[in-house]
């Protein structure tokens, strides 16, 4: 299916809807309907031409791989998504398959989203990463672009999700904090500790390393609450290191309890407030530590 044909078809449908409205409504309603239809038509854009920062509404409930045109809207209006980054797949000569493309997008889009909105605590509840990616057909025409976006599980977004410019201390804190939780969840084993002690020890080693880097960066931030947080995280890093060197599951559990509670996001609120960052713990994180 060619992009051009799809785009023309969508425009034609919008015009037909506007014309049908003339026979079914009063004059004022006809004018309003025509204006709305014309506005929607004017806002149509190929999904392949999306740019970072664009706020948009899909024209249908089609899957990402089947969407060819969207309605770009001002971010101040309610919308279903905002493009937060883009990249091209340059290291593949032939179409690698939809699953392989999805794997690439799943890996790279969160990083693009992080660059666009570094403070994930400032995101609205339910915001999640989404993407438009090449299909086999579009790949054959030279399409290599992946557009990463934030959408909501339900309802719509209002306003841009892009963070206000952040200073060096804020960025340093967010980079280190994100790395710690990435190390935790990206290395989370599936079974119990007794079933996979080596896997849990590897996770603990990764978290400890991320904490060491985070603590080192926090030494350059001369703020009292941030200093308290640094001391707490330094202690937590020690517990993660004990867990990483545990010889048996019981020893691991003894260290893990203090290690895990030591990185409870609720304990970072005072430092975040001091650094003028968002202070509401995301619901999914709050649920984990509440248990």
User: For residue range 34-72, what is the model confidence (pLDDT) as tens digits?
Assistant: 445 445 556 677 777 788 999 998 876 544 445 677 889
Task: Count the domains in the chain.
Answer: 3
Cβ-contact 82, 161 below 8 angstroms? yes
Question: Which domain, by its residues, includes 80?
Answer: 50-164
- Give pLDDT, residue 120: 93
Token pair of 163, please? 């963070």
| pLDDT at residue 157 tops 50 | yes
Q: Indicate if 177 and 210 belong to the same structural domain.
A: yes
Q: Among 165, 276, 275, 183, which residue's Cα sits nearest to residue 220?
A: 275
Domain end marker among 116, 131, 164: 164
Q: How far apart are CA 21 and CA 25, in angstroms?
A: 6
Q: How confident is the model at residue 20 (pLDDT cuts 50, 70, 90)?
A: very low
- Give pLDDT, residue 3: 25
Q: Indicate if 25 and 55 belong to the same structural domain.
A: no
- Give pLDDT, residue 175: 95
Q: For 180-202, what is each residue's pLDDT tens digit?
A: 999 999 999 998 999 999 999 99
Q: Indicate if 220 and 131 belong to the same structural domain.
A: no
Q: Indicate if 127 and 177 belong to the same structural domain.
A: no
How many Cα atoms occupy the beta-carbon half-sphere of 267 within 13 Å?
16
Q: Which runs of E-coded beta strand occur in 26-79?
A: 44-46, 55-58, 69-73
Q: Indicate if 268 and 282 belong to the same structural domain.
A: yes
Q: Indicate if 201 and 267 belong to the same structural domain.
A: yes
The crossing angle, in degrees rounded to 10, of helices 3-22 and 27-42 is 170
Q: Indicate if 137 and 97 belong to the same structural domain.
A: yes
**Mean pLDDT of the chain, nearest integer:** 83
Q: How far apart are CA 280 and CA 100, in angstroms?
A: 36
Domain end marker among 164, 189, 214: 164
Q: For 108-125, what is each residue's pLDDT tens digit?
A: 999 999 999 999 999 998
Domain end marker among 164, 181, 207: 164
Q: How confident is the model at residue 136 (pLDDT cuts 50, 70, 90)?
A: confident
């Amino acid at each position: 299916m060619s992009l051009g044909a799809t785009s023309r078809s969508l425009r034609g449908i919008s015009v037909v809807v506007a014309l049908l409205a003339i026979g079914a409504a009063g004059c004022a309603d006809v004018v309003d309907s025509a204006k709305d239809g014309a506005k929607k038509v004017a806002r149509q854009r190929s999904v392949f031409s999306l740019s970072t920062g664009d706020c948009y509404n899909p024209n249908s409930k089609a899957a990402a791989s089947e969407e060819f045109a969207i309605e770009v809207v001002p971010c101040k209006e309610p919308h279903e998504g905002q493009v937060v980054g883009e990249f091209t797949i340059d290291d593949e000569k032939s179409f690698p398959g939809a699953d392989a493309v999805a794997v690439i997008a799943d890996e790279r889009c969160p990083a693009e989203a992080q660059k666009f909105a570094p403070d994930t605590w400032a995101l609205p509840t339910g915001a999640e990463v989404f993407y438009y990616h090449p299909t086999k057909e579009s790949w054959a025409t030279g399409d290599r672009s992946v557009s990463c976006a934030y959408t909501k599980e339900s309802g719509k977004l209002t306003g841009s999700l892009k963070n206000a410019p952040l200073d060096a201390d804020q960025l340093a804190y967010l980079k280190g904090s994100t790395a710690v939780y990435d190390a935790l969840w990206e290395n989370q084993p599936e079974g119990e500790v007794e079933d996979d002690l080596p896997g849990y020890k590897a996770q603990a080693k990764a978290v400890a390393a991320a904490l060491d880097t985070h603590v080192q960066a926090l030494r350059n931030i001369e703020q009292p609450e941030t200093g308290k947080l640094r001391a707490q995280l330094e202690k937590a890093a020690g517990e993660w290191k004990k867990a990483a060197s545990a010889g048996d599951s019981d020893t691991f559990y003894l260290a893990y309890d203090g290690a895990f509670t030591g990185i409870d996001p609720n304990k970072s609120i005072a430092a975040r407030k001091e650094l003028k960052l968002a202070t509401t713990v995301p619901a999914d994180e709050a649920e984990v530590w509440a248990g």
